[in-house]
Amino acid sequence: MDLRPLKQFLALAESLHFNRASLICHVSPSTLSRNIKQLEDQLGVTLFERNNRIVSLTPKGKRFQAYAREALSQWDIIHNELAAGAGKLHGSLSMYCSVTASYSFLYEILSQFRPRYPGIEIKLHTGDPEPAIQRVLTEQEDLAIAARPDSLPTGLTFQQIAVSPLQFIAPVESQLPKSLYEKTLLVDDFEGIPMILQEKGIARQRLDCWFQVNGRHPEIYAQVAGNEAIVSMVSLGFGVGVVPEIVLNNSPLAGNVQVLIVSPELKPYKVGLCVLEKKLKNPLIAAFWRQLSESQGLVVTK
């Protein structure tokens, strides 16, 4: 079966950029454009709105995107079930995680997985950690490394890899009050202190709750996307931030910030792998999940 039209369609649907999608598919932009047009002609509908600057999915394109993902997933399942006697799995998995997670956890996981399943290709996408779970829920990705929310969405399964405390950090050199560095801090000690926070996400939710429970509100200096940006801005002396310990430990700017002692501490991150439970029927995803479960020291949480 020729699955290239579906794969090319999905590459364009996810990147919304002909040059990037053509690189992913190893074809020229003109070939990709021609193949997408042929697919649209076969279906008798317009899948993409496009001009010289913007590519976007039409409503029918979004419906076809869901079909294409399911069709390729089902192909992997039946292909590997029929070939089970050969003892080898073939196909690809898409995974999303932050850059920090990619070298903190993924290297060790893949170093065990690749020798065991050389026929499975991992397509890795990296970015801000906040949308990781949503990308799995909407089936943009098969798997993601993410922080576990307090309540797991229905249908999502989570396998814990590590626990990372959330830490308050301040610049080593700054005009901030010296008392911040000299004692255990309570919520009142942050009155008037400029804070650099995530726009949204689990860390932001927990910090907001920490302030609200104590009848206070943070003095927000800046809101950013991504924990690495918080470390960078704090190191420049702009204020106090909150980041997972794993991010700080891997930051080249860690020497420019100082961890503050705060009471009560924020609830730590539980970092792990998440997947839609229904997708564990896919032999490729099941193999990756099982490999992680068998690794020493890992805990499964549902």
pLDDT of residue 47: 95
pLDDT of residue 302: 41
Model confidence band, residue 300 (pLDDT cutoffs 50, 70, 90): very low
User: Are 156 and 231 part of one and the same domain?
Assistant: no
User: Are 104 and 40 part of one and the same domain?
Assistant: no
User: Are 221 and 96 part of one and the same domain?
Assistant: no
Q: Total structural domains in the chain?
A: 3
| Predicted confidence (pLDDT) per residue in 236-277, tens digit | 999 999 999 999 998 999 999 999 999 999 999 899 999 999
pLDDT of residue 64: 94
The domain spanning residue 221 has which CATH number? 3.40.190.10
pLDDT of residue 52: 73
pLDDT of residue 175: 85
Last residue of a domain, one of 22, 54, 87: 87
User: Are 83 and 16 part of one and the same domain?
Assistant: yes
Q: Which two tokens stand for residue 12?
A: 């364009």
| Predicted confidence (pLDDT) per residue in 93-105, tens digit | 889 998 888 888 8
Residue 164, CA distances (Å) to 85, 187, 204, 262, 301 in order: 42, 21, 15, 16, 16
User: Are 32 and 76 part of one and the same domain?
Assistant: yes
Residue 297 confidence (pLDDT) above 70: no
Could you list the residue range(s) of the whole structural domain that residue 137 is in?
Answer: 89-163+270-302
- How much is the average pLDDT of 24-34? 90
Q: State the pTM of this model.
A: 0.73
Model confidence band, residue 87 (pLDDT cutoffs 50, 70, 90): low
pLDDT of residue 97: 92
User: Are 38 and 128 part of one and the same domain?
Assistant: no
Last residue of a domain, one of 32, 60, 87: 87
User: Are 142 and 171 part of one and the same domain?
Assistant: no
The domain spanning residue 45 has which CATH number? 1.10.10.10
Q: Is 260 helix (H, G, I), strand (E, B) or coil?
A: coil
How would DSSP label each residue in 272-284? Answer: EEEEEGGGGGSHH
User: Are 57 and 81 part of one and the same domain?
Assistant: yes
User: Are 2 and 131 part of one and the same domain?
Assistant: no
pLDDT of residue 139: 84
| Predicted confidence (pLDDT) per residue in 36-53, tens digit | 999 999 999 999 998 777
pLDDT of residue 9: 93
User: Are 27 and 55 part of one and the same domain?
Assistant: yes
Amino acid at 55: V
Task: Determine the Cα–Cα distance for residues 197 and 225; give it in Å rounded to an integer.
Answer: 9
Amino acid at 40: E
Residue 142 neighbours by CB under 8 Å, 6+ apart: 93, 94, 95, 136, 275, 279, 282, 284, 285
- Looking at every residue in the chain, the average pLDDT score rounds to 88
Last residue of a domain, one of 37, 69, 87: 87
Residue 86 confidence (pLDDT) above 60: no
pLDDT of residue 90: 80
CA-closest candidate to residue 167, choices 268, 99, 84, 86: 268
By mean pLDDT, which of 121-125, 168-172, 206-210 is the weakest? 121-125
User: Are 123 and 144 part of one and the same domain?
Assistant: yes
- How much is the average pLDDT of 13-39? 90
| Predicted confidence (pLDDT) per residue in 144-158, tens digit | 999 999 899 999 999
pLDDT of residue 298: 44
User: Are 250 and 134 part of one and the same domain?
Assistant: no
Instruction: Decide which of 299 and 129 is more confident.
Output: 129
